Amino acid sequence: MRASHNTPASLDPRLGGRSLRRVVFDEATIARRVSELGAQITDSYPDGDLLVVGLLKGSMIFVSDLVRAIRRPLQIDFVAAASYGAGTTSTGTVRLVYDPETRLDGRQILIVEDIVESGRTLSRLLEVIRTRGPRSLAVCALLHKRIATALQEPIRFVGFDAPSEFLVGYGLDHAEDYRHLPYIASI
């Protein structure tokens, strides 16, 4: 089944009868944008190595689509940072629960994040990664709520400006549910 703006999201069997407020970005819209981001990233790294570091778990689906749209050699790693519990508001603390063992010194690094809200998760992660001496460090976020105050620098690659609603799907969760929805919806 393909969810689109024409398909009432409440009919999606993935939801188990729960309802969504609305589909914000459908599958085709996401696929188009991911392909554009891939081309933009390809053009931005004409030479050297590239290490794509996805922030678990939210970025896993985005990373897997994005890397297939980047037409140059690259490597993939993941890091996990937990800033939210089961609720829909930030607790303000960011815990790094896994560090990549991969060497980062002298490398071109692209951090991939699902959604930027306060920017706390990212700024903490960037701080840690910077101490490891990468040659360059940039961020690609699928969604940006444009309310981040914790970020020192702008995010280089942004998929979509996100509405100030709580979004789920395409990797984004609410209490670990909804990550497998192929579209992005608000609840």
CA–CA separation, 34 and 32 (whole Å): 6
C-alpha distance from residue 186 to each of 5, 15, 43, 142, 173 (Å) = 13, 13, 33, 15, 11
34, 52, 53, 116: which one binds ligand IMP (CB under 6 A) = 116
Per-residue x/- track, 121-160, ligand IMP (CB under 6 A)? x---------------------------------------
What single DSSP character describes residue 179?
T
Write down the least CB distance from residue 82 to ligand IMP, Å: 8
112 binds ligand IMP (CB under 6 A): no
Question: H helices within 24-150, ranges in order?
Answer: 27-44, 60-67, 120-130
Q: Report the chain's C-alpha Rg in angstroms.
A: 16
Residues 51 and 104: beta-carbon distance below 8 Å: yes
Show the tokens assigned to 95: 């815990």
Closest approach of ligand IMP to the CB of residue 58, in Å:
4
Interaction between residue 78 and ligand IMP (CB under 6 A)? no
Position 166 contacts ligand IMP (CB under 6 A):
yes
Query: Between 50 and 94, whose beta carbon lies closer to Mg ion?
Result: 94
Q: In what order do the strands lie in the sheet with 22-25?
A: 22-25, 184-186, 167-168
CA nearest to 116, candidates 131, 129, 130, 126: 126
Binding site for Mg ion (CB under 5 A): 58
Contact with ligand IMP (CB under 6 A) among 38, 54, 119, 159: 119
Q: Shortest Cβ distance from residue 135 to ligand IMP (Å)?
A: 25
Q: Does 51 bind ligand IMP (CB under 6 A)?
A: no
Residues 35, 40, 42, 83: which binds ligand IMP (CB under 6 A)? 83
Under the rule (CB under 6 A), what is the footprint of ligand IMP?
58, 83-84, 90, 113-121, 166-167, 172
